[in-house]
Chains A and B, each alone.
Chain A
Amino acid sequence: KQEVTQIPAALSVPEGENLVLNCSFTDSAIYNLQWFRQDPGKGLTSLLLIQSSQREQTSGRLNASLDKSSGRSTLYIAASQPGDSATYLCAVRGGGGSEKLVFGKGMKLTVNP
């Protein structure tokens, strides 16, 4: 059974710092991995999707990497801003044709001005 872990559960940093968020998963036979952002009281917004054949994806100040063999992904946020404050969730989709996503419990990020 796939398990996804995000440590730490919360992080508070001053504005301007470069951040690395970690995600680990137990079964390396994945189809893809996604990073989502969730604002309080809102739904999830997809940030980046990495296919199993890819090593990284970039969007603006965000860069996500995937090391399937070691069961790890990182989300790098450059020059953090208060508007980046949210909960970040990692989710993996397994192989075999299922579209089921298995989520980590998320990391709550607070960027202080």
Chain B
Amino acid sequence: DARVTQTPRDKVTEMGQEVTMRCQPILGHNTVFWYRQTMMQGLELLAYFRNRAPLDDSGMPKDRFSAEMPDATLATLKIQPSEPRDSAVYFCASGLQGETQYFGPGTRLLVL
């Protein structure tokens, strides 16, 4: 049963610290997405990659967020420095181009 995995599942950190979230997409999927979910804004796309190349990162605050795919089995989302307003659940999803997106369980981030 192929699944998207995310680590860590929960992260509590202090303002100003660096946060790194990791995602392992489903093997063979060529498109990887990062979303953020908050009560106020709902689910918002931060960035997505196809074949490891960034295609759209317009939803991501450029000054503190960065997303990369070092290889086809790993996607990372970094926040540096973190701020309390970054507290949210961050989801990774993967899929084949144009098809259904499969979501991971999310990383719940709390920045104090």
Interface residues, chain A, CB within 8 Å of chain B?
34, 36, 42-46, 49, 89, 91, 98-106
Contact = CB atoms under 8 A, between A and B. Distances in A.
B72 to A, nearest CB: 17
A38 B98 CA distance: 22
A103 B36 CA distance: 11
Contacts, number: 47
B42 A43 contact: no
Interface of A is mostly: strand
A103 B43 contact: yes
B101 A100 contact: no
Interface of B: 4, 31, 33, 42-45, 48, 50, 55-56, 91, 93, 95, 97-98, 100-106
B105 A100 contact: no
Given A89-B43, A104-B42, A43 B105 contact: yes
A105 B42 contact: yes
A104 B43 CA distance: 8
B105 to A, nearest CB: 5
B56 A98 contact: yes
From B31, B56, B101, name the one whose CB has the most chain A CB atoms within 10 angstroms: B101
Interface of B is mostly: strand
A103 B42 contact: yes
A43 B103 contact: yes
A99 B64 CA distance: 24
A100 B100 contact: no
Contacts of B55: 98-99
Contact of A46 (B42, B45, B102, B106): B102
A26 B73 CA distance: 36
Contact of A43 (B44, B45, B50, B104): B104
A99 B103 contact: no
Contact of B100 (A42, A49, A102, A104): A49
Nearest to B45: A100
